[in-house]
């Protein structure tokens, strides 16, 4: 690639980030550009996958021991806000017990992201719904351990 092309790409990226800073909080920008806890987990004790009304999907994987969330990971094909919301959902869930993790609502995610524009509120809801799905999957698997033998990833 030419030096000019690289420079143009850098300028374009800087301009996109500068525009995003006018709309989004630093908390959101930070997790969009450097998402924590992104990736899959080989043998999660709980796994949730939810497709939002916009068509984007979030998948959350939980590593749970004695009803406490030790680790969490997420993947998404969604927008920048969904990346930030998925990252925040995992960040908030790690270290919590199951009961407290169920309290991580979209409002909690929104608050910790410093708020989101109205058009992006559903992205936080997608992340919180996916976390609840993963927690429910864990509880169901605990009650019905044979389910994990047939669990689709």
Positions touching ligand FES (CB under 6 A) are 52, 54, 56, 78-79, 81-82, 123, 126
Q: Are 124 and 131 within 8 A, CB to CB?
A: no
Q: How many contiguous H segments (helices) and E segments (strands) does the chain have?
A: 6, 3
Q: Return the number of the residue (77 or 100) whose C-beta is nearest ligand FES.
A: 77
Comparison of 63 and 132: residue with beta carbon closer to ligand FES: 132
Q: 3-state secondary structure string, 113-132?
A: CCCCCHHHHHHHHHHHHHHH
Q: How far apart are CA 46 and CA 140, in angstroms?
A: 9
Minimum CB separation of residue 132 from ligand FES in Å reads: 16
Q: Are 49 and 80 in contact (CB under 8 A)?
A: no
Q: How far is the CB of 82 from ligand FES (least distance, A)?
A: 4
In the bound state with ligand FES, the residue whose beta carbon lies nearer, of 14 and 23, is 23
**Residue closer to ligand FES (CB basis): 50 or 98:** 50
Find the shortest distance in angstroms from Cβ 83 to ligand FES.
9
Least distance (Å) from ligand FES to the CB of residue 149? 32
Asked if 47 and 61 touch (Cβ cutoff 8 Å), the reply is yes
Question: What CA–CA distance (Å, rounded) separates 29 from 127?
Answer: 17
Under a CB-based contact definition with an 8 Å cutoff, are residues 64 and 138 in contact? yes
Q: How far is the CB of 116 from ligand FES (least distance, A)?
A: 10
- For ligand FES, the closer CB: 98 or 110: 110
């Amino acid at each position: 690639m030419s030096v000019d092309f690289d420079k143009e790409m850098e300028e374009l990226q800087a301009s996109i980030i500068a525009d995003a800073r006018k709309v989004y909080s630093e908390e959101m920008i930070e997790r969009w550009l450097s998402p924590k806890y992104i990736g899959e987990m080989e043998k999660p004790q709980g796994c949730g996958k939810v497709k939002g009304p916009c068509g984007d999907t979030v998948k959350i994987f939980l590593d749970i021991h004695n009803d406490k969330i030790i680790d969490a990971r997420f993947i998404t094909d969604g927008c920048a806000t969904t990346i930030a919301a998925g990252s925040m959902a995992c960040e908030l869930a790690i270290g919590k017990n199951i009961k407290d993790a169920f309290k991580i609502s979209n409002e909690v995610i929104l608050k910790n992201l410093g708020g989101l524009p109205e058009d992006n509120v559903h992205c936080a809801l997608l992340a919180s719904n996916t976390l609840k799905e993963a927690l429910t999957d864990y509880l169901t698997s605990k009650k019905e351990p044979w389910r994990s033998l047939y669990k689709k990833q």
